[in-house]
Amino acid sequence: MIIDPVTLIVALITVSTPVLLAAIGELVVEKAGVLNLGVEGMMIMGAVCGFITAHHTGSPALAFVAGMAGAVALALVFAVLTQILMANQVASGLALTLFGLGLAALLGVGYSGLPVPAIARPFPEALRDIPGLGPIVFSHSILVYVSIALVAAVWIVLTRTRIGLVLRAVGENHDAAHALGYKVVRIRIAAIMFGGACAGLGGAFLSVVRVQNWIEGMTAGAGWIALALVVFASWKPWRVLLGAWLFGGIAALQLRLQAAEIGVPVALLDASPYLVTIIVLVLISSDRRRAALNAPAGLGRVFHASS
């Protein structure tokens, strides 16, 4: 056996973290009734801002903050367009992705291959050296644990708190929420910014922790996979985690299969994470009852308070 299951699981968790972060943010955005297709653009902005900051300051913490800030700035553009100027959300999201990819490439000119500081791991070596369990549970950087905690936090907030209830009300029926006196636009803008921060954090993790380099277009569709994961998860936080691990598992496995040279065409392996995402998406969507059950009723609708 060439592929060691322990290192595979460790790689799976690392690979899935950027997608998980972006997807959990987008889940909150969609729960508020907004479809932001700009995840890819926000992620790559997070990646480039994080990488540049990490290189210059040597501080990963600052890098993550900068990654979030860059992506939030982009998310704000989307918020202004769709919430204040009432532009089409699909087109605005696409514009965000196209612009983000261009701007990130522009900012990152000359940064490719520059060194970034190593990331500290929160758990002591004694724990990490436990055979099997150690690497899988204790060997990751802090952001991996943060991302899983974030899933839990989003789940609690959405299902157990008043804020979550208001957010979902805005997403299900903005006119009713407006009539009850909730500030639909403000709540949605806040949700969009949260989604941007998560996508930016995911992007920064990708460039600063996982790849430790800046490569133009390095997100390579991770933002779109995050969008697919939200549908896959039927808008439920824990299922996003499951979906991210499934995707991460495929992505990590195909890299190892490529290295092992087992005779499967490289193109097929390269395409496998995307193909598996499509297949899973089809399986989920074709189940008529489950697919419609949890989708926010007001997703993508433009809100205009007439009075």
Partner 1 sequence: MIVLEKRAEPSRAWGAGGPILAVVLTMLAGGVMFAALGIDPVEAIRIIFWDPLFSERFAGYSRPQLLVKAGPLILIAIGLSMGFRAGIWNIGAEGQYIVGAICGAAFGLAFYPSENPLIFPGMVIAGVAGGVAWAMIPALLKVYARTNEILVSLLLVYVAEAMLASAATGWLRNPEGSGFPGSRNLARHPGTDNPELFAGTGMHWGVLAAFVAVIVAYVIMTRHLLGYQIRLAGQAPRAARFGGVNPARLVILCMGISGALAGAAGVFEVSGPAARISIDFNVGYGFTAIIVAFLGRLNPIGILLAGLLMALTFIGGELAQLMLGVPAPAIQAFQGMLLFFLLALDVLANYRVRIKRKVAA
Q: How many residues bind partner 1 (CB under 8 A)?
A: 50
Residues 233-272 that bind partner 1 (CB under 8 A): 265-268, 270-271
Residue 57 found at the interface with partner 1 (CB under 8 A)? no
Residue 277 found at the interface with partner 1 (CB under 8 A)? yes
Q: Which residues contact 33 (CB under 8 A, 6 or more apart)?
A: 170, 171, 172, 174, 188, 296, 297, 298, 299, 300, 301, 303
Pick from 238, 253, 235: which is nearest to 292 by CA?
A: 235
Residue 199 found at the interface with partner 1 (CB under 8 A)? no
CB of 266 to partner 1, least distance (A): 7
CB of 214 to partner 1, least distance (A): 13
Contact 12, 197 (CB under 8 A): no
| C-alpha distance from residue 86 to each of 82, 93, 192, 248 (Å) | 4, 13, 14, 36
Question: Site for partner 1 (CB under 8 A): which residue of 105, 157, 166, 299?
Answer: 105
Residue 304 found at the interface with partner 1 (CB under 8 A)? yes
Q: How far apart are CA 258 and CA 53, in angstroms?
A: 33
| C-alpha distance from residue 33 to each of 30, 89, 260, 304 (Å) | 5, 11, 45, 13
Question: Site for partner 1 (CB under 8 A): which residue of 15, 225, 240, 241?
Answer: 225
Residue 123 found at the interface with partner 1 (CB under 8 A)? no
Other C-beta atoms lying within 10 Å of the C-beta of residue 149: 10
Q: How far apart are CA 290 and CA 220, in angstroms?
A: 30
Residue 206 found at the interface with partner 1 (CB under 8 A)? no
Residue 281 found at the interface with partner 1 (CB under 8 A)? yes
Interface residues with partner 1 (CB under 8 A) are 37, 77, 80-81, 85-88, 90-92, 94-96, 98-106, 109, 216, 220-221, 224-225, 227-228, 231, 265-268, 270-271, 274-275, 277-278, 281-282, 285-286, 288, 291, 304, 306
